[in-house]
Amino acid sequence: VTIRNCVAYGNGYLEDGTNAGNGNGFKMGGDSMSGKHVLENCVAFNNKAKGIDSNSCPDNIVKNCTTFNNESYNVALYTNTAANTAYVANGIISYRNSSLESALAVGENLKGKGTQVETDYKNETDYYWNGADASVNTQGAAVAENWFVSTDTKFDPATKKFTSTVVTRNDDNTINMNGLLELTDAAPADAGARMAGTASLDNSVVPADVKNYKVIDGANQSIVAGDAKDLTIRIDADRDLYDHAELDDVAVDESNLIIESGSTIVTLKASYVKKLKAGEHTLRVFFTDGKYAETKIYVEPNTGDRSPLALYIALILLAGCGIAGTVIYTKKSKKA
């Protein structure tokens, strides 16, 4: 998903200041799943929680964004269970001032993991709040108040209400910041959002041409409801890239899985399979490179005794009916 030329503010509060929702501005992920979601040329301010939140997505891309006086982190790039992150951030201005004094001590939540290249999301174009008194880049340069035309958001911290409307729309529905957090010539050209009422160059979102992995063994298996047996598939992917599995869009707890090498071998344990309800299920296995593999599991209703003895008895009964029918027909023919 690409979000471009947008503003997020006041999330977590109704217009009368009543608490409502978790209050994040741009919430860009979930469940440690790769998404490569892009946030570009956007502004977040005075949200009850975070301004820019990866929400555990391990590979967000943030470009030329301004985030100001959010009550939690202005910027949070972190993941929970993914082994590696691949965050890219360029041109972030994260800033605070005394108009929200209660949040001056809140720094950023920037936690790359594993193979993350630190300079990909912490570099001279990024200005992060230090949790005390300044927004600085990796060279020690600091954001100044004169970088902005205005920082008056009209937000009252006591009532949690905006006293007047600052952000409006132009006749063509593009956003007009009316000076709020608009950058002056004092700001570096490669940092922060510059909407200036202009539309996005391209409002379309074109999905990348991603070739997903294939299930090369065990695809589209059928079982009977209540069967207590392991269900195994093999995927043409590197085992080291495995991230997690989902059944019907719900994450499968790792305690119910066995993950092995040999491409990637995924086994749903018998105790888990036994609980599957009759019907069609979709199993997806996700990998840290953004790809996934998908297969169906067909669970047939358990209609009773499926033992060979029952089948033999049924066949004998059918055969007996056929013989009886033949005898009756023969006797009738002789009487004719």
Say which CATH number the domain at 232 has: 2.60.40.10
Q: Are residues 295 and 263 in the same domain?
A: yes
Q: What would the two tokens of residue 227 be?
A: 């069967």
Q: Report yes or no on 333 lying in a domain.
A: no
Q: Report yes or no on 44 lying in a domain.
A: yes
pLDDT at 324 over 80: no
Residue 99 C-alpha from the chain's centroid:
33
Angle among Cα 32, 132, 149 to the nearest 5 degrees reads 90
Mean pLDDT of the region 299-322: 57
pLDDT of residue 211: 62
Mean pLDDT of the region 301-321: 54
For the segment 182-239, what is each residue's pLDDT rounded down to a tens digit?
999 999 999 999 986 454 444 444 344 456 899 999 999 999 999 999 999 999 999 9
Q: Are residues 192 and 265 in the same domain?
A: no
Q: What would the two tokens of residue 84 be?
A: 């590696």
Whole-number percent of the chain with pLDDT over 70: 85
Q: What would the two tokens of residue 302 be?
A: 């358990």
Burial of 224 (0-12, 13-18, 19+ CB in 10 A): middle
Q: Which domain holds residue 133?
A: 1-209
Q: Are residues 204 and 224 in the same domain?
A: no
Tell me the pairing of strands 135-136 and 128-129: antiparallel
Q: Answer whether 29's CB lies under 8 Å from 62's CB.
A: no
Q: Report yes or no on 238 lying in a domain.
A: yes
For the segment 151-176, what is each residue's pLDDT rounded down to a tens digit?
999 999 999 999 999 999 988 888 99
Mean pLDDT of the region 254-262: 93
pTM (global) more than 0.75:
no
Burial of 253 (0-12, 13-18, 19+ CB in 10 A): exposed
Which of the pair, 329 or 264, is modelled with greater confidence? 264
